[in-house]
Each structure stands twice: as structure tokens, then as C-alpha cells.
Amino acid sequence: MVTQKGFRVLIADGHEATRASLRRVLAGDARFEVCAESGNAAGAIAAAVRERPDICVLDVELPGSGLSAAWEIRARLPRTKLVMLAVSDADGYLFAALRAGAEGYLLKTAEFSRLPGLLAGVCAGEAAIDPAFVARLLRYFRAREPRWRRPVGAAAAGPRSKGSDFSPLDAHLTSREWEVLQLLSEGLSTAQIGGSLTITPSAVRAHIAAIVRKLGVPDRAAAVEILRRHGPDRSDI
């Protein structure tokens, strides 16, 4: 698939001006050859099957669905690399693109002069994720499976006797529940916590309900008070 001219690239974007910018940047780098272009998903799939490029650069909002094009190209050409372009840093398409098999997810607002180096890295087996999305990816994967946490030394203290002052160290809160409780203690609203953790307000309310139940308190305010009196610092949780 790699020719003497370098890596063969398909560009698919609904805007001619964007395609022209991408083509111009890649034309200035001897490692790349733009083998095809398309302004819609159906054309991108057809061109990919015909040209068998090394890498496809697809707009996630490509007319006809850039994500659908990514799935189809991945199914037909499993060795072709996929890099998605997004117009905003909202992560609504991020995880869908990664599930479709994308090795890269970049903002159109980023400097296109960096694109050749990023694409070369992708062709070499690296990932190309815009820094705007890295923190969200970390939060997502850290929250995939609950981890039960008790700070070091809590177990050594032994069980508390009935009637002793309750500490959140005695409650088996998940990682996400600790995060929600910490953000509650910082005065954030349900909507603000959801935005910070990239989860829905209903999910936040469900976590708060679980926290209140596990701590055996009447409401969120009482849960926050327990954390302030007994809980570990944020650096410990």
C-alpha cells in the first residue's frame, strides 16, 4: 500500500476549503500522497475501496455520517488507518469514533501544519488524540470499573465498635462515588458535577443516592459534612 511517493491518504470532508487546506499541507510533505478526496460518506467509502489508502482522514460530521464511513472502511479495509476530524472539543463523537476503529481524533481548530507528523505517527502504530480530549479519556477509563478504596492505614486501625463516630473510611464507596462526594464538598451543583465528570445529571443523582445510603445519612449535606470531618484529602482518594 505504501508507494515510492509515501503514504497514500484519502481526505473526506464536506467543506471544499477544509479539503484544500489538508491537501496543501500534505502536498508539502514528501511522505504523503493524496490519492482521493470526497465530500460525503458514500463517496469516501467508494474511494477507499477503490484506492486502498494507507490512511483516511474523515470529518466526523461528513455528510452521510463520518462515523458510518469509518465503520464501513474499517470493515472492508482493516489495515487502513482512520483519523477523525472534529469541529469542536465536545466529546459526543469521541468514543463513538474510537469504537469505530479510529487511531486518531483531532480538532479542526488545531494547527494543520502538525498533521503530517501526526499522520506519520499513526502509520507507525501510534495514536493521535488532540490534547483537549486526553483528560476525558483518562476519566472515562478510570471510571469503567469500580475500585473500592480505603486509604493506607485505615485497615490497620481495625474495626470500629458500634456507637463510635462514623467515618467515610468505613464505607465502601466506589471511585466515582468518591469523586462525586468530593465535588459536592466543593460546592458544585448536580449539573456542574455532571459536566466535570462527563456524565449525565441523572447519573450524578444516582451516585449521590448511593453515597447517602452507604454513609447512612439523611441527605447530601450530611454526607458532605462527614467528608469534611473525617474524609481524606482529594490527593488521597
Checking if the pLDDT of 198 tops 70, the result is: yes
Query: According to the model, what pLDDT value does residue 91 have?
Result: 62
* Averaged pLDDT for residues 169-187: 80
CATH class (in words) of the domain with range 7-135:
alpha beta
Alpha carbons within 13 angstroms on the beta-carbon side of residue 197 total: 27
In whole angstroms, how far apart are CA 9 and each of 22, 54, 55, 193, 225?
Answer: 10, 6, 5, 41, 57
Task: Classify residue 234 as left (phi > 0), alpha (psi -120 to 50) or beta.
Answer: alpha
Checking if the pLDDT of 120 tops 90, the result is: yes
Checking if the pLDDT of 148 tops 70, the result is: no
pTM of the model: 0.59
Checking if the pLDDT of 208 tops 60, the result is: yes
Q: Where are the domains of the chain?
A: 7-135, 168-236
* Averaged pLDDT for residues 101-113: 86
Residues 6+ positions from 136 with CB-CB distance below 8 Å: 91, 94, 198
* Averaged pLDDT for residues 66-80: 93
Question: Do the domains spanning 7-135 and 168-236 agree at the CATH topology level?
Answer: no
pLDDT in tens, 47-59: 999 999 999 999 9
Checking if the pLDDT of 161 tops 50, the result is: no
Give the type of residue at 23.
R
**Which is higher by pLDDT, 174 or 128?**
128
Report the chain's mean pLDDT, rounded to a whole number. Answer: 82
- Cβ-contact 72, 45 below 8 angstroms: yes
Query: According to the model, what pLDDT value does residue 214 have?
Result: 87
CATH class (in words) of the domain with range 168-236:
mainly alpha
Query: According to the model, what pLDDT value does residue 170 have?
Result: 54
Give the separation between CA 86 and CA 182, rounded to whole angstroms: 32
Q: Which of 4-18, 46-60, 174-188, 199-213 has the highest mean pLDDT?
A: 46-60
